[in-house]
Each structure stands twice: as C-alpha cells, then as structure tokens.
Amino acid sequence: MLTFGDFPYKDKKCYVISRTARPKNDYVEFWSGDISKLISEIRQKGGLNIWLVGGAQIVGEFLNKNLIDKYIISVLPILLAREFCFSR
C-alpha cells in the first residue's frame, strides 16, 4: 500500500502486522509480536475504535483471541483477474 501513491490514512495511527520485523516509517508501524499485547497497548493509549483490514488469516487470529467485537463485511464490486501459465 505504501507504493500506491499518497497514503490515505495519514491522520490515523496505523500498524502493519507482519511475521518479519521491519523499521517504523512515516505512516505505519510494523508489528511482529503478540497481537493481544498490541491491542492492549493501543487500548491503554486511548484507542477505542480499532479498524482491522485483512484477510482470513489475520481475522482468524483476532477471532481466536476474542479481540473482535463488531464485524463490517464489505464486498468490493471489482473483478480481479489472474493469469495462469501452465507448462507441460
């Protein structure tokens, strides 16, 4: 997302959860530790509304730790095509 041009969430504190530790940059802080600890730290700083954007794997981790209290499921009306190449 950082390569898409102007970062759309400059006014928000943003975290990227990653298995690989990476240095903080101007817009996001990378987190590779325990998710429960991150959420606890955010809540202690007054983070009342936390918006999680991600796929099944990260949502599953939050779900297993009972860290989700509201779901908003969106459908994006864009068809993403993928090309496949097969060799024999």
Residue 79 within any structural domain of the chain: no
- pTM of the predicted model, to two decimals? 0.64
Tokens describing residue 85: 């190449």
Residue 80 within any structural domain of the chain: no
Arithmetic mean of pLDDT, 80-86: 57
Domain of residue 28 covers 14-64
- What is the per-residue pLDDT for 33? 84
Report how many domains make up the chain. Answer: 1
**d(C-alpha 9, C-alpha 12), whole Å:** 5
38 C-beta neighbours (distance < 10 Å), count? 18
Q: pLDDT class for 73, splitting at 50, 70, 90? A: confident
Residue 43 within any structural domain of the chain: yes
- What is the per-residue pLDDT for 80? 60
pLDDT tens per residue, range 29-65: 888 888 889 888 888 887 677 888 777 888 888 889 8
CB-based contact 28:16 (threshold 8 Å) = yes
Res. 75: pLDDT tops 80: no
Q: What are phi and psi of 4, to 5 degrees?
A: -80, 0
